[in-house]
Amino acid sequence: MIQVDLKGQNAVVTGATRGIGFGIAKALSAAGAAVACIGTNAEKLSKSVDEINAAGGSAKAYICDVSKSDQVEAVSKQILEDFGGKVDILVNNAGITKDTLVRVMTDEQWDDVIAVNLRGPFLMTRAFVSAMRKKKYGRIINISSISGLIGNRGQANYSASKAGVIGFTRTVSKELANRNITVNSIAPGFIETDMTAVLDPVIVTEMKNRIPVGRFGSPDDIANAVLYFASPDSSFVTGQVIAIDGGMIM
């Protein structure tokens, strides 16, 4: 893990229950930030927060469906109240998949994925950006996907949502740059998480053969990039998208 000092800073991470989001929350906490962890599964979220706190970090759990405007409004007010009115870092990581070919994709499958993966970052950013503007400081990191860069068969909804995150990132970065608020995006490739752990071994081998470094990434690989984008040292980097994929889409 790279060394970044985030002491005195407050961070919000959506989708912090497991996988990449949990890895990001742990890394931010280990760097000294107080972390508001957002998820929809109360039991799993509580366990994740307990683990962070047991390791000497500072984290609180907040239940919220990021696709619901009223829930985002309520949870953002509560977080700002709990964290002294200051949020320095926002990581929009929450995401879902409902994969199928476009010819049989239902309206619900399309709408649900777009709602969480694209509407969610919009609602969360809107909820916290005023506090960042007031402090004239902020770091917003949006988690996209290589599927948003190159597309993926059976993921028209997911790829569209993640491509939208990239467009959202680049636009909002221009709107906020004059307030010392940077907005960047990370596009992970295949990462070792609960989702990839259940894949057929034959498929795993096939996927790894497509990755030049010959392996899946880890949540730490994504967390390291988040730490850089979250740090004061990245002040001249905004509107950027970095693919962390082991060279898969070079």
Q: Which residues are the active-site residues? A: 158
How far is it, in rounded angstroms, from Cα 138 to Cα 87? 8
Q: What angle do CA 241, 238, 88 make, to 5 degrees?
A: 110
- Among 125, 113, 116, 24, smallest CA distance to 67 is for 116
Name the region of 137 (left: φ>0; alpha: ψ -120 to 50; beta: rest).
beta
Here the tokens at position 165 are 């995150």
SS3 168: helix
Which residues make beta-bridge pairs with 140?
90, 183
How far is it, in rounded angstroms, from Cα 221 to Cα 129? 27
